[in-house]
Amino acid sequence: LRHFLTLDGLDKATLTEILDTADSFIEVGARSIKKVPLLRGKTVVNLFFEASTRTRSTFELAAKRLSADVLNLNISTSATSKGESLSDTLQNLEAMASDMFVVRHSQSGAPHFIAESVTPNVSIINAGDGRHAHPTQAMLDMLTIRQHKGQFEGLKVAIVGDILHSRVARSQIRALNTLGVAEVRVIAPNTLLPVDIESLGANVFSTMQEGLDSVDVIIMLRLQKERMEGALLPSEHEFYELYGLTTEKLKYAKPDAIVMHPGPINRGVEIESAVADGPQSVILNQVTNGIAVRMAVMSMAMSGQTAAISAATSE
Ligand code: CP
């Protein structure tokens, strides 16, 4: 069984191998992605129980670039709406000789649960579960940072906004520390920070002026209202005043700092349009890199070439 559920337990060599493999799929000097036969004859099923634009689309494109057959199950019109259980749905999809399920779910741990229930012939790739993990997002973010900064050593990276509800932030903090950046910072009000934030490996700042001082990379996050459940929050206006990334606040960072965001962005809430669309923004590069990184993860998991992925994530 070969799964990719979390970055926990994966070492620097394995993360670097994912980035190098992703790089190998990018045409030199071009934005285009190679088509390769690595998953020819395999069937990949996209199982998205929660909304997605970027992740679902780039997983589909990645699978097609790997020459796999791709099935996108529309959950809202599937037989789950007639009362079929998740495990019965999965058994039926397995009976179609599926080789890989790409799973997004609002419940933390859902892909792990599915990984435990499928037969050994099927690989599970986590496409984001609750507030727990979004490992392929973090890896496409790492590829984008490496492309623009050349290396991880010495970099100061600030992650700004709703850390508490963010699976992306948890996976990014793990990846950045494993790859050896100089410092990971989080900038947020106390109400949007998890209690274990320092043990995750991040230094906490409560103002943009202090937190952005001399950073190389700024990662903005949106307010994830779908996971807030009545939390005590600033209004969108207050949040933008204090934590929104504007042209003025961007000046606190290094002049060559890059601006990132996993999307979807909420303009005028966590980021000003002039910054999101400005010369320091690499937000659309992140989206493009999603195809190559997801090709890397799917091909490595299917081939078993990365024993470490299996070992760290298959239990
Ligand atoms: N970054 C991200 O996960 O975006 P989607 O929700 O559109 O997939």
Chain segment 77-134, per-residue pLDDT in tens:
788 878 898 889 999 999 999 999 999 999 999 999 999 999 888 999 999 999 999 9
Q: Using N-to-C axis directions, what is the helix angle for 135-149 and 54-65, rounded to 10°?
A: 80
Ligand 1 center from residue 292 Cα (angstroms): 16
Residues 204 and 149 in one domain: yes
Residues 239 and 128 in one domain: no
The reply to whether ligand 1 has any atom less than 6 angstroms from the CB of 310 is no
Does some domain include residue 77? yes
Residues 162 and 117 in one domain: no
The reply to whether ligand 1 has any atom less than 6 angstroms from the CB of 137 is yes
For all residues of the chain together, what is the average pLDDT? 92
pLDDT at res. 173:
98
Does some domain include residue 230? yes
The reply to whether ligand 1 has any atom less than 6 angstroms from the CB of 189 is no
pLDDT at 144 over 90: yes
Pick the range with the lowest mean pLDDT from 33-42, 70-79, 150-159, 275-284: 70-79
Host domain of residue 35: 12-133+290-313
CA dihedral 196, 205, 10, 221 (to 10 degrees): 100
The reply to whether ligand 1 has any atom less than 6 angstroms from the CB of 106 is no
pLDDT at res. 234:
72
Provide the token pair at 133: 């993990």
The reply to whether ligand 1 has any atom less than 6 angstroms from the CB of 224 is no
CATH number at 208 reads 3.40.50.1370
Residues 80 and 111 in one domain: yes
pLDDT at res. 224:
84
Provide the token pair at 1: 């069984």
Residues 79 and 197 in one domain: no
Closest CA to 101 of 45, 42, 38: 45
Residues 246 and 196 in one domain: yes
Cβ burial, residue 104 (10 Å; 0-12/13-18/19+): buried
pLDDT at res. 231:
61
Residues 63 and 172 in one domain: no
Atom 1 in ligand 1: residue holding the nearest Cα: 262
> Which of 55, 103, 131 to probe ligand 1 with, by most ligand atoms within 8 A of CB?
55
Residues 78 and 163 in one domain: no
pLDDT at res. 232:
61
pLDDT at res. 230:
64
Residues 151 and 16 in one domain: no
Closest CA to 176 of 155, 193, 196: 155
Does some domain include residue 1? no
Q: What is the mean pLDDT of residues 224-247?
A: 84
Atom 4 in ligand 1: residue holding the nearest Cα: 54
Q: How confident is the model at residue 72 (pLDDT cuts 50, 70, 90)?
A: very high
Answer yes or no: are the C-beta atoms of 156 and 216 closer than 8 Å. Answer: yes
Residues 177 and 121 in one domain: no
Residues 16 and 116 in one domain: yes
Q: What is the pLDDT of residues 296-312, one digit of tens each?
A: 999 999 987 444 444 44
Does some domain include residue 201? yes
DSSP 112-172: HHHHHHS-TT-EEEEEEETTTB-HHHHHHHHHHHHHHHS-STT-EEEEES--TT-HHHHHH
ipTM field: 0.98
Does some domain include residue 199? yes
Q: What is the pLDDT of residues 254-288, one digit of tens each?
A: 999 999 999 999 999 999 999 999 999 999 999 99
The whole model's pTM is what?
0.94
Q: How many CB atoms lie within 10 A of CB 264?
A: 10
pLDDT at res. 312:
43
Does some domain include residue 4? no
The reply to whether ligand 1 has any atom less than 6 angstroms from the CB of 263 is yes
Does some domain include residue 6? no
Give the C-alpha separation, 107 to 114, whole Å: 12
Number of folded domains in the chain? 2
Pick the range with the lowest mean pLDDT from 151-165, 232-246, 296-310: 296-310
Does some domain include residue 248? yes
Residues 56 and 143 in one domain: no
The conformational region for residue 180 under phi > 0 = left, psi -120 to 50 = alpha, else beta, is left
Ligand 1 center from residue 56 Cα (angstroms): 8
Atom 5 in ligand 1: residue holding the nearest Cα: 52
